[in-house]
Structure 1
Amino acid sequence: MIDVFVEHELTLWFEDDVPSRMFYAGRRWRVSDVPTRLRDSVWATDPRAERGFYGWRFQGTDNVGESMVFDVYPTEEGWSVFHCYA
């Protein structure tokens, strides 16, 4: 597993309040699995509750078929990638 810590511009698109695609590190990615809400506690399971919500984890697949897992979180300027795993 590779953990990437380089800052890149991120644009994230949503469908029904769930991430569906993004532009990151010069590539277009489509969300290719079911995104997981990241919360403060593993016991916070109610998807309607915003308390404790701090981001999303999902697999993204680019146009050539490479897939990576991304942890993204909202900032004052927009969205940012916290972790990226190959």
Structure 2
Amino acid sequence: MNISTTRSDVALWFAGEAPDRLVHDGVRYRVTDMPTKLYDEPMFTHELITHPPRQFVGWRFQATDGVGTTHMFEVLRDAAGRWVLGRVYD
């Protein structure tokens, strides 16, 4: 398995509240599984806090291009509110 880490911009379209399509490096992909929300949790919390606050940071999903090539993508929201590619799993 190949894992690529990047921070390149992507275009992301939604169906309802979940990602449906993605364009990365000029290639259009369709989401072909159920997207999973990604959250960031604080590294340190007091021992009495049983449910630390989580912040939504992006999505992980499988997507397939027009010729049948499939990848697993992690798409994150940057500080400016743009969608960027975090990782691609081949």
Same structural fold, with TM-score higher than 0.5 when normalized by the shorter chain: yes
TM range (shorter): 0.7 to 0.9
Of residues 56, 60, 84, the one that matches 1:57 is 60
Please give the secondary structure, in 2, of the residue aligned with 1:13: strand
Q: Mind listing any 5+ residue stretches in structure 1 that lack a counterpart?
A: 42-50
1:25-66 Cα deviation digits (max 9, x unpaired) = 22000000000001135xxxxxxxxx4211100001000000
The TM-score with structure 1 as length reference comes to 0.80
Higher relative CO (Cα under 8 Å, sequence separation at least 6) belongs to: 2
Which residue pairs with 2:84 in the alignment? Answer: 80
Q: Mind listing any 5+ residue stretches in structure 2 that lack a counterpart?
A: 42-53
Instruction: Say which is worse superposed, 8-17 or 60-69, in terms of deviation.
Output: 8-17
Code of the aligned partner of 2:10: L
Please give the secondary structure, in 2, of the residue aligned with 1:56: strand
Provide runs of 4+ in structure 1 moved above 4 Å: none
Larger gyration radius, structure 1 or structure 2: 2
Which residue pairs with 1:45 in the alignment? Answer: none
Identity of aligned residues (%): 39
The TM-score with structure 2 as length reference comes to 0.77
Residues 77 and 53 of structure 1: CA distance in aligned 2, closer, same or farther (over 3 Å): closer
RMSD: 1.8
In 1, Cα distance between the equivalents of 2:77 and 2:14? 13
